[in-house]
């Protein structure tokens, strides 16, 4: 089972806005090149994910209020197909243009992004975009 956390910022709004995307799993270019979506780490992680939404209070993070805990699976065929399509965009890019051609602009629900602070980082991970995180948490029905 994978446990992920996401921050919500109530400071300026009445509804809980998401402050960030959510890391799902690292991108291993060799593994992705060899494996179809149905055998991927991405699908395995999304089948077993528990997401904890907590309130952002300060950068010091001296305390944290747990707002919501959600489990998720890909039982919605449209969501499943879009995540699969996003995976295949990453897979085809790696196979045709190489790992360095990946960009955070790819993917509708899941994007490949630098892991960590960026600015020269070469590692990449699959991240759930904010709209997908909102869907996972049951905060929104919209995924586009």
Over residues 67-123, the pLDDT tens digits come to: 788 888 788 899 999 999 999 999 999 999 999 999 999 999 999 998 766 566 678
Q: What is the mean pLDDT of residues 123-139?
A: 88
Hey, how many other C-beta atoms are within 10 angstroms of the C-beta on 36?
12
125 beta partners: 26, 113
The residues, ordered by sequence, that sit 6+ positions from 103 with a Cβ below 8 Å of its Cβ are: 112
Ordered domains of the chain (ranges, CATH): 2-136 (3.40.600.10)
Model pTM score: 0.82
Over residues 30-60, the pLDDT tens digits come to: 999 999 999 999 999 998 888 888 776 777 7
- 126 pLDDT higher than 90: yes
């Amino acid at each position: 089972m994978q446990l992920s956390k996401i921050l919500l910022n109530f400071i300026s709004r009445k509804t809980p806005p998401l402050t960030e995307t959510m890391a799902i799993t690292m991108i291993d270019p060799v593994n992705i090149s060899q494996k179809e979506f149905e055998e991927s780490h991405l699908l395995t992680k999304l089948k077993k994910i528990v997401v904890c939404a907590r309130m952002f209070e300060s950068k010091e993070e001296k305390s944290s209020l747990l707002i919501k805990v959600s489990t998720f699976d890909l039982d919605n065929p449209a969501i499943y197909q879009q995540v699969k399509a996003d995976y295949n965009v990453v897979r085809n890019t790696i196979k045709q243009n190489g790992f360095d051609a990946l960009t955070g602009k790819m993917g509708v629900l899941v994007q490949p992004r630098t892991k960590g602070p960026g600015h020269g980082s070469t590692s990449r991970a699959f991240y759930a975009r904010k709209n997908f995180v909102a869907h996972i948490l049951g905060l929104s029905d919209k995924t586009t």
